[in-house]
Structure 1
Amino acid sequence: MNQSNSTEEKLAILEKRLNQTIQSRKQLEDEYQHDWTHFSNMLTQLSYACGGLDQNLDNALTKLRGLLQRNSGMELLKPVMTESEAHIQSVANQVQRNLKDAHEVTFATLNWLLKQPNLSKSARSELQRIIELSQSQHVSIMHYMPLMITLLNYCQRLGSDIVSAPEQQSQAHQKIVLKLITQLEFNGSTEQQLNLIARKLKGKLDNTELLSVLVNLLETIIHGVSLERQSAQNFLLEISQTLGVVQGTLNQSVNERGHYESENSSLNEQLQSNVDRLNASVQSAQHLETLKQEVASHLCQLNETLKEKLALEEHERQHFERTTAKLNSKLTHFEQQVHHYKQKLAEQKFKSLQDSLTKLPNRAALEERMRVEEQRFKRTKEPVSIAVLDIDFFKRINDNFGHSAGDKTLQVIASMLRKAVNESDFVCRYGGEEFVVLFPNTPIADAQARLEKACERIRNIPFKFRSEDIRITVSVGIAELQQVNQSLTSLFETADNALYEAKKTGRNKIVLASAVSN
């Protein structure tokens, strides 16, 4: 009887150990699932960070996100990850090809300028220095290539006019280049250098001085874009390396997981076999002494098998913890990098749509808003009006009191204009001394009333330059969108024609225009 109780106690202990093993296994699986979910979320965030670089890459990353969201196995994830890596390499190659094309155009244009007979010695020296710089530092970022080519082509057109161009033509060239500079999006020292160049272009320059400034501008762009290229390439490289590390670690984990499952399954079978033999011995036992010996033998085998199973699980747990720590460290670092680039992109996007002087939306922002309002008009048929404003005799302020006075004037009028219209109205600086106001859901009569109030406020601003009181006025042209097949671009031209009529007939007035269909 005592022997039977002892056997039952041992069986109870064995059952308890089995339950503990099952609970330990479940805890390990829960931890594995939690960490896998974390890795999947991080990979999804990384894929979003790469969005917009290339359509094929976007498609591959979309498939990768879908598989991660469905908790797909490595047999499905591996080919998509391989495809993503291939597209990342393709994007890098495309950057290099665009770099090569832009570099060739730059080099050819600069060589052409060097061959012009009327170049000054200093300008020729500067051009030669730019060529040497172009040979050692290739410019890359595709976003800047069209603008660089435009500037270089402009320099080529300017070259034929170096000696004979009149002063008015030179000033027109300066305004063109100033508008181009406003489209550049740089930070740090490059941005400061561009601001210095912009200030020089606001002054009076002869053609030789203008060419020297343009050469300096090209050098600044080359240097700035080179820095941007290096930053973007480093980011792409980190993405590729991180995906490679993650894929390699996951592959290793899957392989070791399969090995573990195989060994664990074998041990489970041994445990089951030992239990079956123990049960068989209990059922078939005829003598207590024989049963005691057989049970002791079976328990010993069970104990050894359990020790092997626990050791296997402990090894698996330690390996998983090491793998988790390694990936966590890598992904945490890269998450910080992704956050940094997201912030940088957001800042660049904001700057690209804002006029740096007046802090109003710029021409690019206006074009985006016009597309939105045009689509809304087609859906709702609600009236849309647009006004073009121009500061009267603004050139006199620059000529008589300096460009700093002109800049201050633009800032004050921009602020007053923004306050005078409704909050829903869109006010932007179009360029130079021109402003544009877009009036959503507003007929032309209401837009006129708001602008009359704005013009009155502007007339009453007490401008004072060098102890001299100045009254500043604006001329305005307004038009209303009336036909579904009409675009806001054509409506803008109509309002601009009305502005021209206001300036031609005496300034300081508002002229209404009928919308002209395309």
Structure 2
Amino acid sequence: MTDVNAVVSEVSKLKQRLDQAQLSFRDASLKSRREIVILKRLITRLSVACRGIDQELDAKLVELRNDLEQPKDISKLIPRLALIERLVTRQAALTEQASQNLEQHIHLSGETLNRVRGLPAQLKRDLRNILSANPDSLGDNHNRLIRLLELYESAVKLLSTSTNQQQNNSIDQDVLVHLSSELQHLITELDFTDDNSTVLLETRNKLLAGVTAESLTEQALIVLRLVINGHHQDRRSTQKFVDGVHSDLAAIKKTAHQNLGQSNALLEQRATVISEFSALSHQMQQGLKEQENLETWRPQLETISTELHTLIERTHALEKRERELLDQLAYNENKVISLYEKTAEHHQSLNQQERKMFLDQLTKVYNRAAFNDRLEHEYRRWLRYQHPLCVALLDLDNFKETNVNFGYVAGDKALKIIARTIHQCLDDTDFIARFDGDKFMVIMPDTTEEERTKRINTIRETVSQLPFHFRDQQVSITLSIGATMFDANDTPPNIIERTQKALNTAKSTGANRLSWIA
């Protein structure tokens, strides 16, 4: 009697454990369905980030999302996949920003060509169509660049074959100087290395020395080709990264599908074992109630015991398969970690490119594009808080003579030193950018009248005292400053125009002067 009670007690404990296991598997099934929803969201975000890079890739990602309609158990992947989701979303924003910068370069080059006189009306119309087009993807921008390059080549051929010398030189000197200055500004915002860097330096030196209309078009074509080549390199790099992410996700999807099938099979077998255990338990309980002589019931008990032993062995086999499934999930987790590290490295590379994109390559201070972004940001803060916001335009006095007398290498060296000196005179919350050639823009938010006046005069005096030595000659370089404050209904373009007026006033009174315009 005691042995039977012990058996009943053990069977009851086994039943409780099996009930708990059944609940655990039910929870795992619910988690699996929830995790598949998260994976689908990641794939959707990845599709948005990669949209327009490659049509075939877009189609494959759509197919992948359709294949994930059924729940899949990938609970171990959720934390890593969430990180990948954020990184890929950020990749989309960076790609959009790169596309916007490319759009600006297209318009700059297009407007430059549009100012050339004597070109056929059809070429002008084609150019206007290019500039007025609204690109939907990077591929559209690529086609616009190719078409713009074709128009530049047509313009060069027309100008070179024309017999009318007056037509060839129809661009007046003021416009030519302005276009040359704009092209120099574009060069300062490009970040190339190796041979491309040398080509840009040579182009810049030619522009500084002065060019004709034909030569300006030739230099613009060189810069445009470099921009196109850089664009192709960026696309190839992005394509390689996205292909790697897609390959890893495809592998994860495949193993997740396999794991789901194994999990469902285990769940069904576990349910069968539990059902058989329950039937045996019920049979034993009925026998205990109905049988008065346990000796006569012994053969049935032995049969039940044999079946229980068999079920226990099946349970051990299921546990072994569960451990194998856990090992497979751990392997998948390592693959996701590897994918995360890969995207983190790509993210770091993009951040470095972004920093370079907003730095002037010569002076290592911010460039004009960065200034426009920062001025817009400070303008919005000023609208909200109405704090004092000062903007100053700094221009080196007669700096062209330094380039002419001592060479452009000496001029570049002076620009680097002066930019560093101005930066050292500013506060941590101030901002400096190379605006154009030998001009710098300074933004000083949240400063009192005394502080900003003292800071600007410190810059002016410190620069004038810098000891430059070129070709055994001591040279003094000064700068003039035009400054103003945001007020009333001002906007960033109004402020830039007013600083230029203030600078003209300062220069009209002599060198090394400061002029304020309210």
TM-score band (shorter)? 0.7 to 0.9
1:282·1:291 contact (CA, 8 Å) conserved in 2? no
Residue of 43, 54, 72 corresponding to 2:81: 43
Aligned position for 1:98: 140
Mark the CA change 1:429 to 1:364 in structure 2 (over 3 Å): closer, same or farther: same
Once the two structures are superposed, residues 82-133 of structure 1 have per-residue CA deviations (whole angstroms, 9 ceiling, x without a partner) of: xxxxxxxxxxx9646415632551453255146426269xxxxxxxxxxxxx
- Distance in 2 (CA, whole Å) between partners of 1:180 and 1:324 is 51
Kept in 1: contact 2:187–2:204 (CA 8 A): yes
Match among 455, 466, 469 for residue 450 of structure 1 = 455
Q: Quick one: percent identity of the two aligned structures? A: 22
Q: TM-score, normalised by structure 1?
A: 0.73
Quick one: distance in 1 between partners of 2:340 and 2:448? 49
Deviation at 1:396, TM superposition (A): 0.3
After alignment, is 221-230 or 467-476 more displaced? Answer: 221-230
Q: After the TM superposition, which residues 319-468 of structure 1 pair with which residues of structure 2 at under 5 Å, given as runs?
A: 319-325=325-331, 327-468=332-473
Instruction: State the distance in 1 between where 2:338 and 2:225 align.
Output: 34
Does the 8 Å CA contact 1:281/1:294 hold for their aligned counterparts? no
CA distance in 1, matches of 2:452, 2:294: 108
What is the aligned counterpart of 1:513 among 508, 513, 517?
Answer: 517
CA shift for structure 1 position 444: 4.3
After TM superposition, give the deviation of residue 390 of structure 1 in Å. 0.6
Q: Residues 267 and 448 of structure 1: is their aligned pair in 2 closer, same or farther, counting only changes over 3 Å?
A: same
Indicate the residue corresponding to 2:6 in structure 1: 8
Name the structure 1 match of 2:502: 498
Counterpart of 2:324 (choices 318, 323, 326) is 318
Pair 9,277 (structure 1): closer, same or farther in 2 beyond 3 Å: closer
Q: Would the alpha carbon gap of residues 502 and 437 (structure 1) be closer, same or farther in structure 2, given more than 3 Å must change?
A: same
* Contact 1:167–1:206, Cα closer than 8 Å, also in 2: no
**Matched-pair contact (CA < 8 Å) for 1:190–1:224:** no
Shift of 1:25: 9.7
Aligned pairs for 1:157-172 (under 5 A) are 172=178
CA displacement at 1:513 relative to structure 2: 1.0
Letter in 1 for 2:374: R
- Once the two structures are TM-superposed, the CA of residue 406 in structure 1 deviates from its matched residue by 0.9
Q: CA 1:259 to 1:302, structure 2 compared with 1: closer, same or farther past 3 Å?
A: same
RMSD (Å) for aligned C-alpha atoms: 3.8
Name the CA shift for 1:449/1:49 in 2 (closer, same or farther; >3 Å). same
Conserved 8 A contact 2:394-2:503? yes
**Corresponding letter in the other structure for 1:495:** T
Q: Distance in 2 between matches of 1:371 and 1:43?
A: 35
Number of equivalences: 437
**Aligned twin of 1:276:** 282
For 2:6, give the aligned amino acid.
E
SS in 2 for 1:511: strand
Distance 1:417 1:209, change over 3 A: same
Correspondences of 1:32-181 after superposition (within 5 Å): 36-51=74-89, 95=137, 97-98=139-140, 101-102=143-144, 104-106=146-148, 108-113=150-155, 115-116=157-158, 118=160, 172-181=178-187
Deviation at 1:205, TM superposition (A): 5.1
Partner residue, 1:65: none
Cα shift at 1:206: 5.5
2:250 match: 244
TM-score by length of 2: 0.73
Matches within 5 A, 1:163-202: 172-186=178-192, 190-191=196-197, 193-195=199-201, 197-202=203-208
Structure 1: give runs of 5+ residues left out of the alignment.
59-92, 121-158
- Comparing 185-194 with 248-257, greater Cα deviation is found at 185-194
**Stretches of structure 2 lacking an aligned partner (at least 5 in a row):** 33-72, 97-134
CA contact (8 A) 1:444 1:478 kept: no
Does residue 264 of the first structure (1) align with residue 297 of the second (2)? Answer: no
2:262 aligned partner, one-letter code: E
Over 3 Å counting, the alpha-carbon distance change for 1:16 and 1:51 in structure 2 is closer
Code of the aligned partner of 1:116? L
* Alpha-carbon contact 1:385-1:480 (below 8 Å) kept: yes
Kept after mapping to 2: 8 A contact 1:170/1:207: yes
CA contact (8 A) 2:367 2:433 kept: yes
Task: Give the AA of the match of 1:177.
Answer: L
1:298 equivalent in alignment to 2:298: no
